[in-house]
Amino acid sequence: MAHSHALINPAMLRWARGRVGLDVHEAAIAVGVKPEQFQRWEEGDAQPTFRQAQHVASALHAPFGYLFLPEAPADEPILPDLRTVGGAPAGRPSVNLMETVQHAMQRQAWFAEYLQEQGAGPLPFVGRFNTNSSVARVAQDIRDVLGVDVEQGQRNWETYYRELIEASERAGVLVMRSGIVGNNTHRKLDVGEFRGFAISHTLAPVVFINSSDAPSARLFTLLHELAHIWIGSSGISNAAPGNTRREEIVCNGVAGEFLAPSGVFAELWAAAAQDLTMRVAELAHRFHVSRFVVIRRALDMGLIDQATYSAFYRAELDAFRAAEGGGGSFYRNAGARNSARFARAVIAEAFSGRLLLRDAGRLLGVQPSKIRDFAGQLGA
């Protein structure tokens, strides 16, 4: 029996391949056909079967129906792109990044509607400041809202990071963390492309942290993205040193001031050991932040040069990648990916019967039959 063929638009096939940055050979391997066959499809000399067309759509991360459109749809970033590379605007966001932003916005939209139904009011700290505000004032206000003081050795930096996330969620910010797109471990997020993003909203602000980054760098990213919420600014960030965009300059400044206030930092830096490694270790111990935060703070204050910072950060990232093992607990990762606050709200609605388990599973990226297990792990 002959297989029916899908009359796809060859131009849309070329668009889908280009959108994920693959050449014909790479796309053919992803789809599971010979490059010559894929080339014939692109040139319109042959058509794939419907099953093959579905494989194409899946491999190229494009909706199946798009392959039949007469022309490509608008595919513009849905958040302001605040990233720079070498002082120039970054390239077009990848499909992985755009889908991650879309997933976060879908969760945010559900949660905002949920809060409205609960009668929740706007969060007063969202947009309380602007890009002309003093970074010290913004940093202090974040401390006040989160209920934390300047870290002076009370805890290790990993604990500090976890406690800041929990405090942010108690204050009303949804903190989402992941290094992959959805549950797909084959679609890793590129830390070279972005470190995080913020979606400002008066009811349900979101910050997202790219977990592909070195753990020591994520603390700075968390505060950078929180600063975006405090100045009412949404955008995709790479928190790059030397970024000339006003929002990024301010948010980098707030993050640094929160984690290591400039006045105390400058004094301790001058008094510390001259050896850079020892000096960084001393200040990391004093503020109980990661060594990355110290080296980044030193760069932003003009105490070291860009080359020194870049070499240090690369070593941190390489060490993390070399030590990276398995993916860890699925349920723990799902809690981080969704934001614990969001996940608990979805689970509560599902268990009350106001939300179908099917829909809850779709929102959480968890099989409906596993939601009770997930709730137990989350303590919901």
Residue type at 189 in one-letter notation = L
Q: Are residues 119 and 216 in the same domain?
A: yes
Q: What is the pLDDT of residues 49-72, one digit of tens each?
A: 888 888 888 888 778 888 888 887
Q: Give the domain-ending residue among 323, 349, 365.
A: 323
CB count within 10 Å of CB 96 equals 20
User: β-strand 180-181 against 184-188: which pairing, if any?
Assistant: antiparallel
> Is 75 part of any domain?
no
Q: Are residues 263 and 358 in the same domain?
A: no
> Is 349 part of any domain?
yes
User: What CA–CA distance (Å, rounded) separates 188 from 179?
Assistant: 6
Q: Are residues 299 and 350 in the same domain?
A: no
Q: Which pLDDT tens digits describe the chain residue by residue (380 residues)?
A: 445 788 888 888 888 887 777 788 888 888 888 889 888 998 888 888 888 888 888 888 778 888 888 887 766 557 777 776 555 666 778 888 888 988 899 899 999 999 999 999 999 999 999 999 999 999 999 999 999 887 666 667 788 889 999 999 999 999 999 999 888 888 889 888 888 999 999 999 999 999 988 887 888 899 999 999 999 999 888 777 767 788 888 998 999 899 888 888 999 999 988 888 889 888 888 887 788 889 988 998 999 998 998 888 888 878 777 766 555 566 567 777 889 999 899 999 989 889 888 888 888 888 888 888 888 877 65
User: What was the pLDDT predicted at 1?
Assistant: 42
C-beta of residue 5 within 8 angstroms of C-beta of residue 50: yes
> Is 102 part of any domain?
yes
Q: Give the domain-ending residue among 291, 306, 323.
A: 323
User: What CA–CA distance (Å, rounded) separates 217 from 225?
Assistant: 13
C-beta of residue 283 within 8 angstroms of C-beta of residue 303: no
Q: Are residues 187 and 41 in the same domain?
A: no
CB count within 10 Å of CB 306 equals 10
Q: Are residues 38 and 179 in the same domain?
A: no
> Is 211 part of any domain?
yes
Domain tally, the chain: 3
Q: Are residues 129 and 27 in the same domain?
A: no
Q: If you write DSSP's letter for every residue of 267-320 in order, what string do you get?
A: HHHHHS-SSHHHHHHHHHHHHT--HHHHHHHHHHTTSS-HHHHHHHHHHHHHHH
> Is 279 part of any domain?
yes
Range of the domain at 340: 330-378
> Is 138 part of any domain?
yes
In the chain, where does DSSP find H-type helix? 10-19, 24-31, 35-43, 50-59, 95-117, 135-146, 157-171, 215-230, 246-259, 262-271, 276-287, 291-300, 306-323, 330-338, 340-352, 357-364, 371-378
For residue 318, with 0-12 CB atoms within 10 Å meaning exposed, 13-18 middle and 19 or more buried, which class applies? exposed
Q: Are residues 142 and 190 in the same domain?
A: yes
Q: Are residues 100 and 247 in the same domain?
A: yes
Q: Are residues 231 and 369 in the same domain?
A: no
Q: Are residues 119 and 255 in the same domain?
A: yes
> Is 4 part of any domain?
no
> Is 79 part of any domain?
no
- Write the CATH number for 52: 1.10.260.40
Q: Are residues 363 and 340 in the same domain?
A: yes
Q: What is the pLDDT of residues 249-262, one digit of tens each?
A: 899 899 989 988 88
Q: Are residues 217 and 149 in the same domain?
A: yes
User: What CA–CA distance (Å, rounded) separates 137 from 250?
Assistant: 12
Give whole-number Cα distances, 113 to 291, 340, 351, in Å.
41, 17, 18
